[in-house]
Amino acid sequence: MLAHIQREHSINKIFLSCLGLWPFQSKLARSLIPICYLAIEISYYPLEVLMIYDHWKDTRLLFDCGSQLVLLTTFVAKLLNELLNHDKIQSLYETMDNHWNIFKSESELQILKNYSTISRKFTIFYALMMYSMVTIFILIPLTPVFLDIIWPLNESRPRLFAVAVELRIDQEKYYTPVFCYNISIIVLGVIIMVGVDSIYVVCTAHACGLFSIISQQFEEVLSKLDIAKQVSKYERCLNEKFKLSSEKEMYQQYIICLKKYQLALEFVNILNSIYQVIALFLLLLNGITISLVGIRVVYILGQLKEVARFGFIIIGMLVQLMIICYSGQKLMDESQNVFYQAYAVKWYKFSPRLKSLLIITLYRSIVPSGLTAGNMVPLSMATYATVVRAALSYFTTFLSFKE
């Protein structure tokens, strides 16, 4: 099952299996693993609310809790979206796998292979980056523990946690279990981010590959038609029957290209229907998280280790936002190439029925296919810039509350 996907994207299969999101896992694994992830992540909400209640007048802790709540909501939202759209996602994977059987010429397979290689390299790089950052994020609070072992003092150094937590217990006495619970929230959240974001990139890269194939084929077919017309112009004695058969063959090739174009459009529609709601949610959450964590950094500018830790969170949010927006931008650019290829030909030399097909192609491709947030905001680099500008505006607003 999904032989092509498992061959090209075996790493993504491992990440999804760890989340219980691989569609062909056992039913028990698909039910139990995501529920465990959700239960652990959601269990942190009451603790955050409790900390806000206990430290209502502490502005620094309020910003701390706010950023943690938004970040936690991001993890939960990503996982819930995958669970709620399980049937669509399974259909999407099956469609991707089937495309390897439909687009089966050497040039088509090479393009699909190139894009799958790009997405695989991205998955490896993204996973290494995120896991490296979360490792450093976790190890920095353990510095006092390491120093007590290497360079002990007359008394133990104060114990730190990866993120602020309030349990109304003696946290020095129960430091180990509380710290383990603390980091489990972060580690599981990063596992969710890596698994979901990487498969999102795989799907958009596959869609880009489809549009790249189609624009290339349109260029080939239309250039052949143009060449055939030029040949018939200078060779008056060319057999009329041969010209008709040649044009009929080109017409059939054009029809095949249109059918493949339709497959690509259907794939993008499914992909967009899965991620359009969560994309809008994530745009808002990322902007808020960057602002709140930025305020948190202002409070600790003199503490290099803490600045580095929270700087990793900002970098992670910016990278995640970049993934969402750049994938949409790349898909939009590849789909626009279909229009440019059709628009550049000498259409006035074609027969009436070929002109009618070309008009259909131009009419559909003039509006680029892409991904949207909430079916309202196109996911593009312009949207990325807008969200970052908004985050900076919120940052300056929140900064005024600090002062």
Condensed to tens digits (0 to 9), the pLDDT of residues 358-396 reads: 788 788 878 888 899 888 889 999 999 999 888 888 778
Assess contact for 211 and 331: CB atoms under 8 A. Answer: yes
Assess contact for 210 and 263: CB atoms under 8 A. Answer: yes
- pLDDT tier at 11 (50, 70, 90 boundaries)? very high
What is the pLDDT at residue 401?
61
Helices 44-54 and 59-84: crossing angle, nearest 10°?
160
What is the pLDDT at residue 89?
92
Provide Rg for the chain, Cα atoms. Answer: 27
**What is the rounded average pLDDT of the residues 62-80?**
85
Condensed to tens digits (0 to 9), the pLDDT of residues 232-289 reads: 444 444 444 434 456 677 778 778 888 888 999 999 999 999 999 999 988 988 888 8
Tokens of 236: 């008056």
Q: Which residues, listed in sequence order, are joined to residue 373 by a DSSP beta bridge?
A: 377
DSSP 378: E
Tokens of 395: 């940052």
- pLDDT tier at 224 (50, 70, 90 boundaries)? low
Query: DSSP labels for 257-301?
Result: HHHHHHHHHHHHHHHHHHHHHHHHHHHHHHHHHHHHHHHHHHHTT
Helices 59-84 and 27-42: crossing angle, nearest 10°?
170
What is the pLDDT at residue 349?
66
Say if residue 74's pLDDT is above 70.
yes
pTM exceeding the 0.85 threshold for the entire prediction: yes
**CA 152 from centroid of its chain's CA atoms:** 46
CA–CA dist 224, 393 (Å, integer): 54
What is the pLDDT at residue 382?
92
CA–CA dist 26, 257 (Å, integer): 39
Angle at 105 between CA 99 and CA 107, to 5 degrees: 100
What is the pLDDT at residue 234?
45
**Residues with Cβ < 8 Å from 30, sequence gap 6 or more?**
20, 21, 22, 23, 86
What is the pLDDT at residue 403?
54
The count of other CB atoms within 10 Å of the CB of residue 252 is 11
Helix (H, G, I), strand (E, B) or coil at 121: helix
**What is the rounded average pLDDT of the residues 33-58?**
85
Tokens of 161: 């946690």
**What is the rounded average pLDDT of the residues 318-337?**
90
Taking Cα atoms as reference points, which of 206, 196, 198 lies closest to residue 334? Answer: 206
More confident residue, 355 or 35: 35
**What is the rounded average pLDDT of the residues 187-191?**
92
